[in-house]
Amino acid sequence: MHVKMVPMAKKTHRIERRTDALSRERIIAAAIEILDTDGEAALTVRALAAHLATGSGAIYWHVADKNELLAAATDAIIARVMSEVAGGAEPREAIRAVALGVFDAIDVHPWVGAQLFREPWRPAMLEIIEGVGGRLQALGVPHAAQFDAASALVHYILGVAGQNAANARVHAPDTDRSAFLASVAAQWAALDPARYPFVRQMATRLRDHDDREQFLAGVDLILAGIGTVR
Amino acid sequence: MHVKMVPMAKKTHRIERRTDALSRERIIAAAIEILDTDGEAALTVRALAAHLATGSGAIYWHVADKNELLAAATDAIIARVMSEVAGGAEPREAIRAVALGVFDAIDVHPWVGAQLFREPWRPAMLEIIEGVGGRLQALGVPHAAQFDAASALVHYILGVAGQNAANARVHAPDTDRSAFLASVAAQWAALDPARYPFVRQMATRLRDHDDREQFLAGVDLILAGIGTVR
DNA sequence: CAATACAATGGAACATCGTTCCATAATCCA
DNA sequence: TGGATTATGGAACGATGTTCCATTGTATTG
């Protein structure tokens, strides 16, 4: 059952619409809220309808389908990130800032990491490519190498993003992360030394590493590689 | 009670089963066949049961759930790739070979690209990490930098893998790829030059680029970066 | 002001999915 | 041989995304 708002003055012309009217923006905002608080799997059309105190059909009047909803939510998050980064810093620092912005956004909204892979021509991906690639020219990267350089950086960012999204999907929303890392590290350490010598050696590093620092180390590594073709 | 059974040798325990008996291996093989020919979305438990001429319940006797089935199928593909690569080539070439092996495998089995992100402690991911990281030591990468270097390479490979998987998901199974690239390139070229100058410039490169070559260029870029910390 | 057209709503209904349950069949073991 | 165990196949369940449609609210028109 639902409680309707009481239209107080019905004699005068009420230009304003009902204050609880649905809109594409309100739907996207509600979707983001559900995704952030309860995870990717919790965003069902029914849950969304309940959260908005409406029915499923009303949602489909404003949004084509769930895919479009997720894509729009992703675009909203990434656009916000890129506008916050902006700035006219030194190009190398700007690239790091863009990458870290995306990383941090996915830390807060893990579902974005999975969405970035779908429909790469959507605004979200364009923003990232532009944010990274736009600074490569200022870095002095030869024109012929800019496409490869931007592609490498963006794909690396995507890889980390997807991995973080996957990790968030596996965990309970607030599982102790260090406990999880320790458990995987223990599995690695218990592997057959003859078959997996490297992975075994990396077990302790996996346990102690900081995701954010390591992500940045990867960006720096790629930037160093880009520097060699200057 | 007398024994009138067939000669029941302890070691020759071979009683023939029905030749069409199900098995975990047959189920995984059938799943891979459906995934490869009809795409990720076509793999439903019902389709799989029909393909094996059995019922859904029988499948669940051999396999825990669909996740495990997909993970096992992924492990099978990646294990095959890594055993084929192997070889004692020069480390730099070996890393390129491993990366290309994964790339080519995902070109044939796009669904693998999406699966690699789930449960990174599974055999498939271990194989890749070991295949890449194991050669870094031989490359002369300092011990302290090996974790970051391997992580960067693997995440880059993952990013490309996920992107290719997404592309394959969007296309009809045999859509003309160059036509698709041309259409996206046209969209890029039509963007606002003030907002997306870099993406616009890259449009023609996007149209003409070769995925495989560009992937390798990224690997080389990262290897070059790794070389700077030697 | 009444009548009407249209945007918007909410919930029932539908097809499909992964999974569970269970009656049965096939096979093994004592 | 007979009971126990393994294996099978299909019905049934709950949940999902989506469509359909009767109904409501609002704006426009005669």
Q: What does the pLDDT read at residue A59?
A: 98
For the domain made up of B88-228, give the CATH fold. Answer: Tetracycline Repressor; domain 2 (1.10.357)
- Provide the shortest C-alpha distance from residue B58 to chain A (in Å): 27
Q: What does the pLDDT read at residue B15?
A: 37
Contact yes or no for A173/A38 (Cβ under 8 A) = yes
Q: What does the pLDDT read at residue A21?
A: 81
Q: Is the pLDDT of residue B49 over 60?
A: yes
Range name among A111-125, A168-182, B97-111, B180-194 with the lowest pLDDT average: A168-182
CB atoms within 10 A of CB A55: 13
Do the chains contact at A130 and B202, CB–CB below 8 Å? Answer: no
Range name among B40-44, B68-72, B83-87, B198-202 with the lowest pLDDT average: B83-87
ipTM over 0.85: yes
Return d(Cα B39, Cα B113) in angstroms, integer: 12
**Unique residue bearing structure tokens 């490569």:** A136
Q: In the structure, how far is the CA atom of residue A62 from the C1' atom of nucleotide C5, in angstroms? A: 20
Q: Is the pLDDT of residue B43 over 80?
A: yes
Q: Is the pLDDT of residue B176 over 90?
A: no
Burial class (CB in 10 A: 0-12, 13-18, 19+), A62: middle
Q: Searching chain B, which residue's CA lies closest to the CA of residue A152?
A: B218
List the single protein residue with the shortest CA to C1' distance from D6. B61
Q: Is the pLDDT of residue B227 over 80?
A: yes
Q: What does the pLDDT read at residue B175?
A: 72
Q: What does the pLDDT read at residue A19?
A: 61
Return d(Cα A27, Cα A33) in angstroms, integer: 10
User: pLDDT digits over A53-63, tens only?
Assistant: 999 999 999 99
Region of B2 (left: φ > 0; alpha: ψ -120 to 50; beta: rest) is beta
- Provide the shortest C-alpha distance from residue B176 to chain A (in Å): 17
Q: What does the pLDDT read at residue A168?
A: 87
Size of interface A-B (CB pairs under 8 A): 183
User: pLDDT digits over A19-55, tens only?
Assistant: 678 999 999 999 999 999 999 999 999 999 999 999 9
User: pLDDT digits over A83-121, tens only?
Assistant: 998 667 799 999 999 999 999 999 999 999 999 998 878
Q: What does the pLDDT read at residue A43?
A: 98
Residue B131: closest CA among B167, B164, B95, B173: B95
User: pLDDT digits over A138-170, tens only?
Assistant: 999 999 999 999 999 999 999 999 999 998 888
Q: What does the pLDDT read at residue A173?
A: 63
Contact residues, chain B, for A106 at CB < 8 Å: none
Range name among A65-79, A187-201, B81-95, B195-209 with the lowest pLDDT average: B81-95
Contact yes or no for B56/B49 (Cβ under 8 A) = yes
Tokens of B45: 């438990």
Q: What is the CATH number of domain A89-228?
A: 1.10.357.10
Contact yes or no for A178/A167 (Cβ under 8 A) = no
- Provide the shortest C-alpha distance from residue A75 to chain B (in Å): 15
**Residue A133 is inside which H or E element, if any?**
helix A123-139
Q: What percent of chain B has pLDDT over 70?
A: 89
What burial letters (b/e) apply to B130-141, b meaning 16+ CB within 10 Å? bbbbbbbeebeb
Of the partner residues B133, B170, B214, the one whose CB lies closest to the CB of residue A198: B133
Q: How confident is the model at residue B80 (pLDDT cuts 50, 70, 90)?
A: very high
Which residues numbered 154-193 in B keep a CB inside 8 Å of some CB on A? 154-163, 165-167, 169-170, 184, 187-188, 191
Q: Is the pLDDT of residue A68 over 80?
A: yes
